Amino acid sequence: MRSLSYLLALSLILPACAQKGVPQKSKATAAATAAPTPSAQAEPVLVFQRTPCYGTCPAYTATIFADGRVEYEGQRFVPVLGKHTLKLPVATVNELLAGAKRINFNSLEERYSRNTSDLPATIITVHPVGQPLKAVFADEGIPANLQGYINLLKARLDPLSGVGVTE
């Protein structure tokens, strides 16, 4: 009887040991070792955020990549709410980056504000490939060249959120 117990225990242990000896890739390991797609590796080249106000100001964030991919998140008072992946022509992305270069975005102050709490703000982060990242927060006292750039960004990105689009 005792030898039968040992045989039973041994028959249960041996298959478990055999499985441990053969390394198997888990789904997580397989995903981690798979080559990431180029678009997943790329850092955003531009982030445009329109913040909420106490009224009905459109609030959304558009994170733009060099290949034209836009990770959009509509928060308030935009027809397209939630997270979506959208697409811009690469020429438009290049136009937006050229606009930042034209106004010498990297030389702008980091903040244009008089700390008025009920105004919507615009936060722009520009990070062209191979260049340093620069972010600017603006809600009041915005210089004309930056306001022109904000208007350009709104003109190209608001239609993605449905703002200003009439049916």
pLDDT, tens digit, for every residue of 29-65? 333 334 444 444 489 999 999 999 989 999 999 999 9
The fold adopted by the segment(s) 38-161 is Mago nashi protein (3.30.1560)
- For 111, list phi and psi in degrees, rounded to 5: -145, 130
pLDDT, tens digit, for every residue of 124-158? 999 998 899 999 999 999 999 999 999 999 999 99
What does the angle CA 24 – CA 30 – CA 32 come to, to the nearest 5 degrees? 135
Q: 104: phi > 0 → left, psi -120 to 50 → alpha, else beta; which?
A: left
Per-domain boundaries in the chain: 2-33, 38-161
Confidence category of residue 165, pLDDT binned at 50, 70, 90: low
Per-residue pLDDT for 95 more than 60?
A: yes
